[in-house]
Chain A
Amino acid sequence: MKALVTGITISLTASVTAWTMASGEIEAVLQNSFVAKNQATMDRLQRDAVQSACSAPRGMPLDNDMLASLRAERLDAVVLPADGEYLGDWQRGAEVAGNGRGLQSSDDPTQPNGGNCYACHQLAPVEVAYGTLGPSLTGYGARGQSVAMLQYTWTKLWDTHAYNLCSHMPRFGAQGILTEQQLKDVMAYLLDPASPVNQAAE
């Protein structure tokens, strides 16, 4: 395992230099350009392997082998719910989906983080203030609740890069943005037939 990780790091570094100035240089620029503010600390400017691999300006050549192994690594690292229960309470899930706060320097760190799904997705048809960076998830529950479907959706929420490396969606589980319980609640909001996501608009 250790050897594999080192291999990835090396090939990553090699492909990174294809498009950046020495990445140390850009990191130094960023360190000099920002100041820590409340919970938004300076270590946030440090990229992990996924972030580095997904920072290439458009049209830059990418190392496909590296990307494939990185994606496989993310899939390996997904943590499924310990008790095997995927679905929580859709009403609490609605709150998580609508809450855009959390982890900004201006947010109260004692309050729970939101998932901000509405910033990027249409969900309940009655909510008109939805963003369009992601596909509409209205009627998502029609896909059913098979084990495969539950695991697919959980994995997508835990670490979207496990399926689609460099997706624009945040890694809600892997980055600790949402708790396991919040993820279950959002799962129910998507999949429970009683959830407004799965009710036709009046």
Chain B
Amino acid sequence: MKRHHLGFAFFTAWLCSVPLAADNGVFDQYRDLMGDDNPAVFVIDEGEELWFTPQGPESATLEACDLGLGPGVTAGIYVRFPRYFADTDAVMDLESRLVHCMTTIQGRDLEAVTAKPYSLRGDFGTEMEALVTWLAAESEGATIAPEQTHAAERAMYTLGEEIFFYRAGPHDFSCATCHEQSDMRIRLQALPDLTSHTGAADAWGSWPAYRISQGLVRTMGWRLRDCFRQQRWPELRMGSEASIALQTYMAVNAAGGTMTAPGLKR
């Protein structure tokens, strides 16, 4: 393990020194070198530890948290998200569900737990990133099957589709501008067609992911926020309706695909 870790640090340094327009060949080389050693394994361990760590005024762990399959069940929950929860009467993504558990079970302050969900470049990863990474890994290999039985879940899909095509901002961009055709790219970055099953399954099934260029694990919430930044829109709030709607749109288009997260990205 140790040896691999060193190799990884060396490779990262080399990778960062080549122009950012590193093409996929470089990543194939990286994968060959690293094999299954996705550095996200360290973050998975951290997430598991955090789940069992008592926190907040209630000094409680998250074991009483119901992620859809009953309190404390973590295996196979991620592939069912986003989904409706009766206790909040809302469709939630994993991030907003975790916030709910932190505030209700651990008694933590809402402002505090939502202040900085995603790390900045050069930071250590956040608690949210670690928990989501571990919980996604708890569904690795499972079939993507988001709930669509409740009317609110189906309405979320429709809303997500509308937002996906909603053009606004000085550049008139929508998600569709960059993600409704296959085999397209921006500069050298391949763009998945998220309206298709294959494109959505590859994308939805591979996040959260370790970003080699940033040395951090990123969640789907972060991915959306960053695409909205490129879209010239204001900043997407974690756990917001627009975020959950877009995730529902992608997850349902991806249904039947396989969860492979945490992925490895450039």
Q: List residues of chain A with CB under 8 Å of any chain B CB.
A: 19-21, 26, 29-30, 32-37, 40-42, 44-47, 50-51, 54-58, 100, 103-106, 118-120, 128-133, 168, 170-171, 175-177
CB distance from A95 to the nearest CB of B (A): 16
A46-B168, A133-B178 given; A104·B230 CB < 8 A: yes
Besides A21-B158, A44-B170, 14 more A-B contacts (Cβ < 8 Å) are A21-B159, A29-B163, A33-B237, A45-B169, A47-B167, A51-B167, A57-B162, A58-B195, A119-B186, A130-B187, A133-B181, A133-B186, A133-B191, A177-B171
Residue of B nearest to A56 (CB): B165
A37 to B75 CA separation, bound complex (whole angstroms): 37
Q: Which of A42, A47, A51, A168 has the most CB of B within 10 A?
A: A168
Whether B233 pairs with A103 at a CB distance below 8 angstroms is no
Interface digits, B231-256 against A, CB 8 Å rule (1 contact, 0 not)?
01111110011110100000000000
A-chain residues with CB within 8 Å of residue B184 when the two chains form the complex? 131-133
Other-chain contact of A34, B176, B186, B234 (Cβ < 8 Å): B234
Whether B171 pairs with A175 at a CB distance below 8 angstroms is yes
A29-B242, A44-B170, A103-B171 given; A34·B237 CB < 8 A: yes
Q: Check if B164 is an interface residue, CB within 8 A of chain A.
A: yes
- In the A-B complex, list the 3 residue pairs whose CB atoms are closest, starting with the nearest: A33-B242, A33-B240, A34-B234
A55 to B164 CA separation, bound complex (whole angstroms): 9
CB distance from A34 to the nearest CB of B (A): 4
Residue of A nearest to B226 (CB): A106
A26 to B158 CA separation, bound complex (whole angstroms): 11
A118-B187, A119-B186 given; A29·B233 CB < 8 A: no
CB distance from A111 to the nearest CB of B (A): 15
CB distance from B247 to the nearest CB of A (A): 12
Q: Check if B185 is an interface residue, CB within 8 A of chain A.
A: yes
Residue of A nearest to B174 (CB): A55
A-chain residues with CB within 8 Å of residue B173 when the two chains form the complex? 170
Residue of B nearest to A131 (CB): B186
CB distance from A128 to the nearest CB of B (A): 8
Whether A20 pairs with B162 at a CB distance below 8 angstroms is yes
B-chain residues with CB within 8 Å of residue A29 when the two chains form the complex? 159, 163, 241-242, 245
A-chain residues with CB within 8 Å of residue B124 when the two chains form the complex? none
Interface residues of B in 78-100 (CB under 8 A from A): none
Interface residues of B in 178-216 (CB under 8 A from A): 178, 180-181, 183-188, 191, 195
Q: Check if B31 is an interface residue, CB within 8 A of chain A.
A: no
Whether B163 pairs with A30 at a CB distance below 8 angstroms is yes
A-chain residues with CB within 8 Å of residue B151 when the two chains form the complex? none
B-chain residues with CB within 8 Å of residue A55 when the two chains form the complex? 162, 165-167, 174
A-chain residues with CB within 8 Å of residue B181 when the two chains form the complex? 133
Residue of A nearest to B239 (CB): A33
Q: Check if B172 is an interface residue, CB within 8 A of chain A.
A: yes
A51 to B21 CA separation, bound complex (whole angstroms): 31
A42 to B233 CA separation, bound complex (whole angstroms): 8
CB distance from A50 to the nearest CB of B (A): 7
Residue of A nearest to B158 (CB): A21
Whether B242 pairs with A170 at a CB distance below 8 angstroms is no
Residue of B nearest to A118 (CB): B187
B-chain residues with CB within 8 Å of residue A175 when the two chains form the complex? 170-172
Whether A40 pairs with B233 at a CB distance below 8 angstroms is yes
Other-chain contact of A57, B164, B229, B233, B236 (Cβ < 8 Å): B164
Other-chain contact of A170, B161, B171, B178, B187 (Cβ < 8 Å): B171
15 A-B contact pairs sorted by A residue (CB < 8 Å): A33-B241, A34-B242, A35-B235, A37-B235, A44-B169, A45-B233, A54-B172, A58-B176, A120-B186, A129-B187, A129-B188, A133-B178, A133-B181, A175-B171, A177-B171
Q: Check if B24 is an interface residue, CB within 8 A of chain A.
A: no
Whether B240 pairs with A51 at a CB distance below 8 angstroms is no
Q: Check if B177 is an interface residue, CB within 8 A of chain A.
A: yes
B-chain residues with CB within 8 Å of residue A100 when the two chains form the complex? 187
Whether A103 pairs with B232 at a CB distance below 8 angstroms is yes
A33 to B245 CA separation, bound complex (whole angstroms): 11
Whether A33 pairs with B236 at a CB distance below 8 angstroms is yes
A119-B186, A177-B170 given; A57·B161 CB < 8 A: yes
Other-chain contact of B235, A30, A34, A54, A129 (Cβ < 8 Å): A34
A55-B165, A57-B165, A103-B171 given; A42·B159 CB < 8 A: no
